[in-house]
């Protein structure tokens, strides 16, 4: 049952021939005007941020259809994935062999979005953007092939998506045969054809906490998963993405209208995709991107009673990436346009569109942030990495129907590598046993705010024990923690996920400032609790106290992480 569901959804994902190029990178680097990206330069920006140095570059596991099999000249892989060689390990869990050529192209496209360096081919579009440029170009890859075509052409697949196969794949990806760490991050640009909390959802929640159950102790791993392409209906985030502990990713448009010189024409879009998939505005969510359950003003559900999904969005529409080197295979189906754009004889790149291709954008950002932490002698747990990318994301509410974050359409926002790695003050608590809380226990930190002219973003995240399987997208929350931020002197305080949206009905993306004695709301649905405070609330030098309380922790004590932007350590 699981196997059949996974196959049918992956076929849907691959059948949208409409995601990495330099425009994706420039979008998340903040080099845009809110609507479009106007100039190249992403690799130079990464270098200026210190993110291209060799120290602590990450290895990421891709669970996908395989990897460019090296059939190009002299056995090389794709030029944008060579020098240095990105692939460090590969295994087919379909055929149980150490070879996993990519007859479909999906895995190679994802690899290019994550780790491509467009200088390998040097190909540019007419606007000067390097094609095949990934988000984290020095990231290495281990490829776990869990899908492989049985026949050339369309929709018949061999799969390795049974729990026993995936258990082996995670163990292989997480640790080496002698027990050393191999990868700490994995990308899953595939889905199960369900929006329920299934056995696979539970499995993914477990793997964030311990990816290699064959070894003693816990080997945690950050899992970044696609939200699926069943939008724009509400509550359509797929079952991998409704897992509590993963980072679920939806897709925003790129800026590449079909009228722009060198852009693929509209007749290459999969039949039935609406015109607003045209990619005219980088702050619009793709129509087909999976949505969460609706909450807030005008709906029957309240934010503090509803799981916020997707967690984040990233550009994944009509963007170019790497395809298997000079393959003659079709890598999407049905074939409604071309294998390449432009056509061979070169055949290095093509374009696609789906949450499959937004997901490795976030995976690349997580890899760069993990390097950033390690460069500062901090080894971040998955909860800290998730808190960091959520806290620093872009609120798209000004562009998206005045629906500010958190949103059932774009979650906590579009991932923002600029804010994630800038020079603003920041404070964090990395998940550690000594900070864990039982029911009624509390931890607190008193800190000074940073720049009073900037917003303050504080996010609490914990990895909750896996839930029982339920016929709902709202998996059961076992351990309930509460985030509180108090102004020094007690004149005001803020409660996690008590936004103006669900307290006063004013949806502005900011937390409600409570006065002493005012009744608060209790979030009983989310493993993410956030407090967002607008610029101008504090004066220079003012202090706040950040508190985490174990509200109800039946399976504790529960560890957690905090990431606070514009708060001094």
In tens, the pLDDT along 273-307 reads 555 567 788 999 998 899 999 998 777 788 899 99
Q: What is the mean pLDDT of residues 204-227?
A: 97
Q: What SS3 state is found at 495?
A: strand
User: Residue 127 corresponds to which tokens in the numbers above?
Assistant: 């606007």
Beta-carbon contacts of residue 451 (< 8 Å; ≥ 6 apart): 424, 425, 566
Neighbours of 37 (CB within 10 A): 24
- How far apart are the C-alpha atoms of 369 and 358, rounded to whole Å? 17
Of 248 and 350, which is predicted with more confidence?
A: 248
Alpha-carbon distance of 127 to 260, in angstroms, equals 9
Q: Is the separation of the CB atoms in 368 and 337 below 8 Å?
A: no
Token pair recorded at residue 112:
């290019």
* Tokens (6 digits) for 37: 């990206």
For residue 484, give Cα distances in angstroms to 183, 188, 434, 512. 34, 33, 20, 12
pLDDT of 267: 56
Report how far residue 18's alpha carbon sits from residue 110's, in angstroms, rounded to the nearest whole number: 14
CA distance 136 to 117: 9
Across 367-371, average pLDDT: 98
Closest CA to 322 of 472, 111, 560, 69: 111
* Whole-prediction pTM: 0.93
Cα end-to-end span (Å), the chain:
50
Of the listed ranges 67-71, 114-118, 122-126, the least confidently predicted one is 67-71
Q: Which residue has the tokens 């080894």?
A: 379
Q: b/e for 110-122, b at 16 or more Cβ within 10 A?
A: bbbbbbbbbebbe
Given a cut of 80, whether residue 350 has pLDDT beyond it is no
Q: Is the dihedral of CA 482, 505, 237, 323 positive or negative?
A: negative
* Contact call for residues 400 and 410 (beta carbons, < 8 A): yes
According to DSSP, the residues that pair with 251 across neighbouring strands are 314
| Least confident piece of the model among 35-44, 326-335, 505-514 | 326-335
Q: How confident is the model at residue 27 (pLDDT cuts 50, 70, 90)?
A: very high
- pLDDT tens digits, 78-103: 899 998 999 999 999 998 988 888 87
DSSP state of 469: P
Q: What percent of the chain has pLDDT over 90?
A: 68
Q: Is the dihedral of CA 115, 52, 180, 207 positive or negative?
A: negative
What are 140-197's pLDDT values in tens digits?
A: 999 999 998 665 444 456 788 888 999 999 999 999 999 999 999 999 999 888 999 9
- 56 or 3: which leads in pLDDT: 56
How confident is residue 499, by pLDDT bands cut at 50, 70 and 90?
very high
Question: Distance (Å, rounded) from C-alpha 479 to C-alpha 439?
Answer: 9
Return the number of other C-beta atoms located less than 10 Å from residue 482's C-beta: 20
Closest by Cα among 406, 401, 392, 398 to 309: 406
Coil, helix or strand at residue 259: coil
Residues 236-279 have pLDDT tens digits of: 999 999 999 999 999 998 888 777 777 766 655 555 555 556 77
What's the whole-number mean pLDDT along residues 20-33? Answer: 90
The arrangement of strands across the sheet holding 456-461 comes to 426-429, 561-565, 456-461, 528-533
* Rounded mean pLDDT, 10-23: 44
Looking at every residue in the chain, the average pLDDT score rounds to 87
pLDDT, residue 268, reads 57
Maximum CA extent, the chain? 73
**Over residues 497-516, mean pLDDT:** 95
Whether the per-residue pLDDT at 551 is higher than 70: the answer is yes
Statement: residue 440 has pLDDT above 80: yes
Average pLDDT over residues 327-347: 45
Cβ neighbours of residue 422 under 8 Å, at least 6 residues apart?
Answer: none
pLDDT at 266: 63
- Angstrom distance (rounded) from CA 103 to CA 323: 10
Instruction: Examine the pLDDT at 5 and tell me if it is beyond 60.
Output: no
Beta strands in 169-256 (DSSP E): 185-188, 222-226, 247-252
């Amino acid at each position: 049952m699981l196997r059949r569901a996974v196959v049918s959804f992956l076929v849907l994902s691959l059948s949208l021939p409409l995601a990495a190029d330099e425009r994706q990178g420039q979008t998340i680097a903040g080099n845009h005007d809110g609507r479009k990206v106007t100039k190249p330069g992403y690799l130079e920006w990464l270098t200026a941020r210190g993110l291209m140095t060799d120290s602590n570059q990450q290895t990421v596991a891709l669970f996908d259809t395989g990897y460019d099999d090296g059939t190009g000249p002299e056995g090389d892989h794709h030029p944008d994935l060579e020098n240095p060689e990105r692939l460090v390990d590969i295994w087919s869990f379909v055929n149980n062999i150490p070879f996993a050529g990519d007859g479909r192209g999906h895995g190679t496209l994802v690899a290019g979005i994550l780790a491509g360096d467009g200088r390998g081919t040097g190909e540019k579009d007419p606007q000067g953007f390097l094609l095949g440029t990934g988000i984290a170009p020095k990231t290495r890859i281990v490829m776990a092939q869990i899908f492989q075509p049985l026949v050339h052409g369309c929709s018949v697949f061999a799969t390795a998506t049974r729990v026993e196969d995936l258990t082996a794949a995670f163990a292989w990806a997480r640790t080496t045969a002698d027990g050393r760490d191999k990868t700490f991050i994995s990308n899953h640009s595939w889905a199960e054809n369900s929006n329920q909390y299934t056995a696979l959802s539970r499995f993914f929640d477990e793997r964030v906490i311990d990816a290699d159950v064959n070894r003693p102790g816990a080997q945690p791993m950050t899992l970044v998963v696609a939200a699926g392409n069943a939008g724009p209906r509400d509550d359509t985030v797929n079952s991998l993405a409704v897992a509590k502990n993963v980072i679920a990713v939806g897709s925003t448009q790129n800026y590449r209208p079909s009228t722009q010189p060198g852009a693929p024409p509209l007749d290459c879009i999969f039949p039935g995709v609406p015109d607003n998939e045209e990619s005219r505005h980088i702050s619009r969510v793709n129509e087909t991107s999976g949505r969460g359950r609706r909450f807030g003003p005008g709906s029957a559900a309240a934010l503090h009673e509803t799981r916020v999904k997707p967690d984040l969005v990233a550009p994944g529409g009509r963007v170019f990436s790497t395809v298997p080197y000079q393959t003659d295979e079709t890598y999407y189906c049905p074939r409604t346009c071309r294998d390449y754009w432009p056509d061979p004889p070169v055949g290095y790149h093509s374009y696609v569109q789906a949450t499959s291709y937004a997901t490795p954008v976030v995976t690349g950002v997580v890899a760069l942030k993990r390097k950033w932490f390690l460069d500062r002698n901090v080894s971040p747990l998955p909860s800290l990495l998730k808190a960091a990318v959520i806290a620093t994301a872009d609120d798209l509410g000004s562009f998206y129907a005045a629906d500010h974050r958190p949103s059932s359409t774009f979650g906590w926002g579009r991932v923002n590598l600029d804010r994630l790695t800038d020079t603003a003050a920041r404070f964090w608590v990395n998940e550690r046993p000594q900070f864990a809380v039982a029911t009624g226990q509390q931890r607190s930190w008193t800190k000074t705010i940073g720049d009073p002219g900037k917003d303050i973003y504080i996010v609490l995240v914990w990895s909750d024990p896996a839930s029982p399987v339920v016929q709902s997208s709202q998996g059961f929350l076992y351990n309930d923690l509460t985030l509180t931020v108090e102004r020094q002197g007690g004149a005001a305080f803020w409660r996690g996920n008590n936004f103006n949206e669900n307290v006063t009905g004013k949806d502005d993306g900011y937390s409600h400032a409570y006065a002493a004695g005012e009744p608060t709301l209790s979030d009983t649905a989310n493993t993410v609790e956030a407090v967002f405070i607008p610029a101008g609330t504090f004066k220079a030098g003012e202090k706040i106290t950040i508190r985490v309380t174990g509200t109800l922790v039946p399976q504790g004590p529960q560890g957690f992480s905090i990431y606070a932007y514009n708060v001094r350590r």
